Amino acid sequence: MQVLPTSAIDVREDARWAFIVGAPRCGTTSLSRYLASHPDVCFSRPKESHYFAQADLRGLSDRTLRLRVQREYLARFFSQPRSSPVLAEGSVTYIYVPEQVEPILRLWPQAKFVIGVRSPFTMLPSLHQRLCYIGDETERDFSRAWNLVAERREGRSIPRSCVAPRWLDYWEAGRLGKYVEQFLDTVGRDRCFVYLFDDFISDPARVYSKLLTFLDLPDDGRLDYPTHRDSRDYKIGWLQRAVMRPPQSLVMLASKGYRRVLSAGPEPELGWVGKAALAARERILAWNMAPAPAIRIEPEIRSQMTAMFKDDIARLGELLNRDLSSWLDDQGSLFADFSEHRLRAERRKRLVRQVSAAKGSAALPG
């Protein structure tokens, strides 16, 4: 197959696209990594462009839309040559702006979308931990961050290092029933593959196999399913924010993905000084990293979350034809204790048992 620059060929209407649109902290990074290693998939660099969430292209003519997308999107995030029949990206902001994905359907009528959902009682604390780690959130305690939402909606108490204040609205981010319904109504249910994070954690091979079938992709023979972007913590807050969210004058010292999203054009080549600075950045991050603590939701906050999300969870269950009432169980404890590492540790144990069993079966005579 001829290898061409992606930007030269893929504004065609018959191009095959897969968009992993969210929700955050639902295993989308792991799924993206799996797809990126599939020989028939060309994945964006970085995984999350957020392009169609940041640019409202709905009012453009077809010709102008194609020119802008080719210049601002394909040339920036798919600049690598490729021969793969499917292109993909994974911006978790798209689930919250379903109206702005309409241009995607105009450009690529065959586009498909992947949606992951998760209990807000675990998704939101995990999101909060991630925002703290990348520097967008400075309030380390989830309960206090939850109580700051009203102020932040008015533009107050927003950290100076925060790039996307919308993520600090935990009240709205947890309404997955609302946004999944809007997204399905916008693009059509038949275009969407929806999975539960619970299912992905317990049996990633099954979810990935179903996803490949949905995308009309052949089995790539994957046997291992590592996790990515597990929750992390840090030792020194100001140092973490300085490295993860540097001021504009030092943005070249940020991560490559962060630089590419902020940049308006092609990324300039780094000299030896820039490369040395980035290497030092990685060493600082490694030294400053700490294990994420278990998350404890205070009873009062959990009661507020239950009142806020109960109807939304019921609606999501109806949309997916799944009973999600277990998400509301409090288990009668003083604190609703959740540790993402515990879930992932259990998953790793199951995978080890499965691999061991497979090896044992293969070794049996006859």
Residue 128's Cβ-side half-sphere holds a number of Cα atoms within 13 Å equal to: 27
pLDDT score at 10: 61
**Tens digits of per-residue pLDDT, 207-260?**
999 999 999 999 999 999 998 777 788 889 888 888 888 876 555 555 555 555
Closest CA to 291 of 220, 208, 338, 235: 235
The correct answer on CATH 2.30.40.10 for the domain covering 1-119+174-231+312-366 is no
Of 176-185, 274-283, 295-304, 326-335, the range with the lowest mean pLDDT is: 326-335
- The pairs formed by 63-71 with CB atoms below 8 angstroms and a separation of 24 or more are 65/103, 65/106, 65/107, 66/11, 66/107, 69/11, 69/103, 69/107, 70/7, 70/11
Task: Note the pLDDT tens digit of each residue in 101-147.
Answer: 999 999 999 999 999 999 999 999 999 999 999 999 999 999 999 99
Please give the share of the chain, as a percent, with pLDDT higher than 90.
63
pTM for this model (two decimals): 0.84
In sign, the C-alpha dihedral spanning 117, 119, 122, 124 is positive
How confident is the model at residue 80, as a pLDDT?
77
pLDDT confidence of residue 361: 38
Question: So what's the pLDDT on residue 3?
Answer: 45
Quick one: the chain helix, strand, coil %, rounded to 5?
Answer: 55, 10, 35
Query: How many alpha carbons lie under 13 Å from residue 267 in its C-beta half-sphere?
Result: 22
Q: Hey, which residues does 297 pair with through a beta bridge?
A: 336
Q: What is the pLDDT of residues 261-294, one digit of tens each?
A: 555 555 556 677 777 878 888 898 889 888 888 8
Strands in 178-270 per DSSP E: 192-196, 232-234
How much is the average pLDDT of 166-171? 96
**For position 257, what pLDDT does the model report?**
53
HEC string of 7-41 equals HHHCCCCCCEEEEEEECCCCCHHHHHHHHHCCCCE
Q: Where are the domains of the chain?
A: 1-119+174-231+312-366, 120-173+232-311
Name the average pLDDT for the chain: 85
